A and B are shown apart, each in its own frame.
Chain A
Protein backbone atom coordinates (compact mmCIF):
# COMPACT_ATOMS: atom_id res chain seq x y z
CA UNK A 1 0.00 0.00 0.00
CA UNK A 2 0.93 3.65 -0.13
CA UNK A 3 3.44 4.92 2.36
CA UNK A 4 3.66 8.26 4.11
CA UNK A 5 3.70 11.12 1.64
CA UNK A 6 4.85 14.68 2.17
CA UNK A 7 4.38 17.78 0.06
CA UNK A 8 6.12 19.74 -1.20
CA UNK A 9 9.36 17.83 -1.52
CA UNK A 10 11.28 21.10 -1.58
CA UNK A 11 10.29 24.54 -0.39
CA UNK A 12 12.36 27.69 -0.76
CA UNK A 13 11.14 30.79 1.02
CA UNK A 14 12.40 34.13 2.19
CA UNK A 15 13.12 35.09 5.75
CA UNK A 16 9.98 36.30 7.49
CA UNK A 17 7.52 34.40 5.30
CA UNK A 18 4.94 31.84 6.40
CA UNK A 19 5.12 28.22 5.21
CA UNK A 20 2.94 25.15 5.46
CA UNK A 21 4.23 21.60 5.12
CA UNK A 22 1.79 18.75 4.55
CA UNK A 23 1.88 15.11 5.63
CA UNK A 24 -0.40 12.29 4.47
CA UNK A 25 0.02 9.31 6.81
CA UNK A 26 -0.51 5.66 5.99
CA UNK A 27 -4.23 4.91 5.86
CA UNK A 28 -5.49 3.65 9.20
CA UNK A 29 -2.56 4.98 11.22
CA UNK A 30 -3.85 6.99 14.16
CA UNK A 31 -0.47 8.24 15.39
CA UNK A 32 1.46 10.91 13.48
CA UNK A 33 4.84 12.45 14.28
CA UNK A 34 6.87 15.38 13.00
CA UNK A 35 10.66 15.50 13.18
CA UNK A 36 13.25 18.00 12.01
CA UNK A 37 16.62 16.96 10.63
CA UNK A 38 19.48 19.39 10.28
CA UNK A 39 22.45 18.61 8.06
CA UNK A 40 24.61 15.84 9.50
CA UNK A 41 22.32 15.25 12.45
CA UNK A 42 19.74 12.65 13.35
CA UNK A 43 16.06 13.56 13.25
CA UNK A 44 14.83 15.60 16.20
CA UNK A 45 11.32 15.05 17.58
CA UNK A 46 8.92 17.98 17.26
CA UNK A 47 5.34 16.88 17.94
CA UNK A 48 3.15 13.80 18.17
CA UNK A 49 -0.56 13.45 17.38
CA UNK A 50 -2.81 10.67 18.57
CA UNK A 51 -5.92 11.13 16.46
CA UNK A 52 -6.72 14.82 16.20
CA UNK A 53 -5.01 15.93 19.38
CA UNK A 54 -1.39 16.84 19.97
CA UNK A 55 -0.37 14.40 22.71
CA UNK A 56 3.19 15.71 23.00
CA UNK A 57 4.40 19.01 21.51
CA UNK A 58 7.47 19.32 23.73
CA UNK A 59 9.83 19.34 20.76
CA UNK A 60 8.46 22.43 19.04
CA UNK A 61 11.30 24.97 19.29
CA UNK A 62 9.16 28.08 19.84
CA UNK A 63 5.71 29.54 19.22
CA UNK A 64 6.44 30.21 15.56
CA UNK A 65 5.91 26.50 14.99
CA UNK A 66 2.43 25.01 15.05
CA UNK A 67 0.88 21.80 13.74
CA UNK A 68 -2.68 20.64 13.20
CA UNK A 69 -4.44 17.43 12.32
CA UNK A 70 -8.11 18.45 12.20
CA UNK A 71 -9.65 15.20 10.97
CA UNK A 72 -7.15 12.75 12.41
CA UNK A 73 -5.50 12.00 9.09
CA UNK A 74 -3.60 14.67 7.14
CA UNK A 75 -1.41 16.97 9.20
CA UNK A 76 0.04 20.38 8.44
CA UNK A 77 3.13 21.84 10.07
CA UNK A 78 3.00 25.63 10.01
CA UNK A 79 5.97 27.91 10.50
CA UNK A 80 5.45 31.65 10.92
CA UNK A 81 8.04 34.38 10.35
CA UNK A 82 10.59 31.89 9.07
CA UNK A 83 14.24 32.34 9.99
CA UNK A 84 17.36 31.05 8.25
CA UNK A 85 17.89 28.66 11.16
CA UNK A 86 14.63 26.91 10.28
CA UNK A 87 16.27 25.49 7.17
CA UNK A 88 16.22 21.70 7.52
CA UNK A 89 14.46 18.57 6.31
CA UNK A 90 11.11 18.15 8.00
CA UNK A 91 10.11 14.50 8.33
CA UNK A 92 6.72 13.05 9.05
CA UNK A 93 6.08 9.54 10.35
CA UNK A 94 2.99 7.56 11.20
CA UNK A 95 2.24 4.41 13.19
CA UNK A 96 -0.77 2.26 13.97
CA UNK A 97 -1.28 3.91 17.30
CA UNK A 98 -0.24 4.08 20.89
CA UNK A 99 0.14 0.61 22.36
CA UNK A 100 0.74 -0.03 26.03
CA UNK A 101 2.82 -3.09 25.34
CA UNK A 102 5.05 -4.12 22.50
CA UNK A 103 6.60 -2.05 19.76
CA UNK A 104 4.83 0.60 17.73
CA UNK A 105 6.86 1.05 14.60
CA UNK A 106 7.00 4.44 12.92
CA UNK A 107 7.08 4.68 9.12
CA UNK A 108 8.66 7.79 7.71
CA UNK A 109 7.91 9.87 4.66
CA UNK A 110 10.60 11.23 2.32
CA UNK A 111 10.63 14.62 4.02
CA UNK A 112 10.28 18.23 2.90
CA UNK A 113 13.51 20.15 2.45
CA UNK A 114 12.91 23.71 3.63
CA UNK A 115 15.37 26.41 2.67
CA UNK A 116 14.97 29.88 4.14
CA UNK A 117 16.95 32.52 2.26
Chain B
Protein backbone atom coordinates (compact mmCIF):
# COMPACT_ATOMS: atom_id res chain seq x y z
CA UNK B 1 0.00 0.00 0.00
CA UNK B 2 1.18 3.50 -0.84
CA UNK B 3 2.49 5.50 2.08
CA UNK B 4 1.86 8.84 0.38
CA UNK B 5 -1.18 10.75 -0.79
CA UNK B 6 -1.10 13.45 -3.44
CA UNK B 7 -3.73 15.46 -5.30
CA UNK B 8 -4.43 13.77 -8.63
CA UNK B 9 -3.87 16.87 -10.75
CA UNK B 10 -2.73 20.50 -10.67
CA UNK B 11 -2.30 23.34 -13.15
CA UNK B 12 0.39 25.99 -13.02
CA UNK B 13 1.04 29.03 -15.21
CA UNK B 14 4.32 29.06 -17.07
CA UNK B 15 6.96 31.06 -15.21
CA UNK B 16 5.21 30.75 -11.88
CA UNK B 17 6.23 28.52 -8.98
CA UNK B 18 4.60 25.10 -8.86
CA UNK B 19 3.99 23.82 -5.33
CA UNK B 20 3.16 20.13 -5.18
CA UNK B 21 2.00 18.82 -1.80
CA UNK B 22 2.38 15.33 -0.40
CA UNK B 23 1.09 13.72 2.78
CA UNK B 24 3.05 10.89 4.38
CA UNK B 25 1.56 10.80 7.87
CA UNK B 26 2.72 7.24 8.64
CA UNK B 27 6.36 7.83 7.72
CA UNK B 28 8.90 6.36 10.11
CA UNK B 29 11.92 8.17 11.49
CA UNK B 30 14.48 6.60 9.14
CA UNK B 31 12.41 6.68 5.95
CA UNK B 32 13.44 9.15 3.28
CA UNK B 33 11.07 11.12 1.04
CA UNK B 34 11.95 11.04 -2.66
CA UNK B 35 10.41 12.91 -5.56
CA UNK B 36 10.45 11.67 -9.14
CA UNK B 37 8.65 12.80 -12.24
CA UNK B 38 7.55 10.87 -15.28
CA UNK B 39 7.05 12.44 -18.65
CA UNK B 40 4.79 10.49 -20.98
CA UNK B 41 6.30 7.20 -22.19
CA UNK B 42 9.56 7.69 -20.30
CA UNK B 43 10.95 6.17 -17.12
CA UNK B 44 10.71 8.11 -13.85
CA UNK B 45 13.34 10.82 -13.46
CA UNK B 46 14.90 11.61 -10.09
CA UNK B 47 14.30 15.15 -8.78
CA UNK B 48 15.27 15.41 -5.13
CA UNK B 49 15.14 13.63 -1.78
CA UNK B 50 15.35 14.43 1.93
CA UNK B 51 14.98 13.07 5.43
CA UNK B 52 14.07 16.01 7.66
CA UNK B 53 15.94 19.09 6.49
CA UNK B 54 14.79 21.21 3.57
CA UNK B 55 16.76 20.49 0.41
CA UNK B 56 17.47 22.42 -2.78
CA UNK B 57 19.14 21.48 -6.02
CA UNK B 58 19.20 22.79 -9.56
CA UNK B 59 15.79 21.32 -10.33
CA UNK B 60 13.68 22.00 -7.27
CA UNK B 61 13.33 22.60 -3.55
CA UNK B 62 11.90 20.18 -1.02
CA UNK B 63 10.24 21.48 2.11
CA UNK B 64 9.55 18.89 4.82
CA UNK B 65 7.41 19.80 7.82
CA UNK B 66 8.95 19.52 11.25
CA UNK B 67 6.78 16.52 12.15
CA UNK B 68 7.71 14.94 8.77
CA UNK B 69 4.08 14.12 8.04
CA UNK B 70 4.01 16.14 4.85
CA UNK B 71 6.25 17.77 2.30
CA UNK B 72 6.07 20.14 -0.66
CA UNK B 73 8.03 20.02 -3.87
CA UNK B 74 8.64 23.48 -5.34
CA UNK B 75 9.54 24.09 -8.97
CA UNK B 76 10.51 27.76 -8.77
CA UNK B 77 9.83 28.79 -12.37
CA UNK B 78 7.72 26.19 -14.13
CA UNK B 79 8.16 25.71 -17.88
CA UNK B 80 6.07 23.78 -20.38
CA UNK B 81 8.64 20.98 -20.22
CA UNK B 82 7.80 20.47 -16.54
CA UNK B 83 4.42 19.03 -17.53
CA UNK B 84 4.57 15.49 -16.11
CA UNK B 85 3.30 13.17 -13.39
CA UNK B 86 5.12 13.88 -10.12
CA UNK B 87 5.54 11.07 -7.61
CA UNK B 88 6.19 11.55 -3.92
CA UNK B 89 7.75 8.35 -2.64
CA UNK B 90 8.73 6.95 0.71
CA UNK B 91 11.85 4.83 0.58
CA UNK B 92 11.17 1.89 2.85
CA UNK B 93 13.89 -0.21 4.49
CA UNK B 94 13.07 -3.89 4.27
CA UNK B 95 15.19 -6.95 4.96
CA UNK B 96 18.35 -4.85 4.97
CA UNK B 97 17.50 -3.31 1.61
CA UNK B 98 15.34 -0.48 0.33
CA UNK B 99 12.43 -0.20 -2.05
CA UNK B 100 10.27 2.63 -3.30
CA UNK B 101 6.56 2.68 -2.55
CA UNK B 102 4.93 4.76 -5.27
CA UNK B 103 1.49 6.30 -5.04
CA UNK B 104 -0.56 7.45 -8.01
CA UNK B 105 1.17 10.83 -8.29
CA UNK B 106 0.08 14.34 -9.26
CA UNK B 107 -0.39 15.16 -12.91
CA UNK B 108 1.02 18.68 -13.31
CA UNK B 109 0.05 20.65 -16.35
CA UNK B 110 2.01 23.84 -17.01
CA UNK B 111 -0.07 26.29 -19.01
CA UNK B 112 1.31 28.81 -21.49
- List residues of A whose CB falls within 8 A of some B CB: 4, 31, 33, 35, 40-45, 48, 50, 55-56, 58-59, 91, 93, 98, 103-111
Contact = CB atoms under 8 A, between A and B. Distances in A.
B44 to A, nearest CB: 5
A98 B96 CA distance: 8
Contacts of B44: 43, 91, 93, 108
A106 B87 CA distance: 14
Contact of B2 (A4, A42, A108, A109): A42
Interface string B23-48: 00000000010101000011111100
B38 to A, nearest CB: 8
Interface in B1-58: 2, 32, 34, 36, 41-46, 49, 51
A56 B97 contact: yes
Contact of B102 (A40, A44, A56, A98): A44
